[in-house]
Structure 1
């Protein structure tokens, strides 16, 4: 959230919009997708005025009622009015174990590998450094449960 009742910013205008959906090709193959937009415009302090664009696509294949394989690709671009543009991508391949066939079933045990890169022209200092290009490769497992 850009604003709240606890920290109100005068002359701040924000717009959030997103479009998401899914398509089931067969009982075993489907895809989910998301397009997002965020416009941040502060009339008093325009140093961080920006427009964010994002896209995610996640094709999924369900081998049976328990096992599935997902490939998720994401891209984000942040266009700052001052200080340049930032953009990044990520790609995740996961093997999942759940109690039913479909992306909505939990609990789920997921094993994954994720790679990505971010290029920053507009940077914030963290611990006295300015990193303009960040690369990442992660391998792991996670358990997800919600009710």
Structure 2
């Protein structure tokens, strides 16, 4: 499966200026969170499809981050890591709507998407707009390539 993910990334042509040892391909294993039930107007536990794939790499020359997170198939990064890996091998990044944490020693990552619950304007509580974004936490693994 990891081979198929690697081939997909190469075929899509994700390009960066990073050296091979500074690139990682990441695949989601599981994703859980909350979904809004319009009928009961309540937030409930939910499981989500976990097919996301990302490339963690050094950015192009125009970026001011040490690393970027780009979902495979997307042209622009979703996440920006101001600092590189710390002495423990951890990488802490901000994403659009959340955060991405990666441990290169274990190959594990955790992505959290925070929007969709606290960010709903008061006037939209209990409406269709309330369920437009669903907060979730995704876990997965990354491999160097």
Question: Under TM normalisation by the shorter chain, which class is it?
Answer: 0.3 to 0.5
The structure in which a higher percent of residues are strand is 1
The structure in which a higher percent of residues are helix is 2
The TM-score with structure 2 as length reference comes to 0.34
Which has the greater radius of gyration? Answer: 1
The TM-score with structure 1 as length reference comes to 0.34
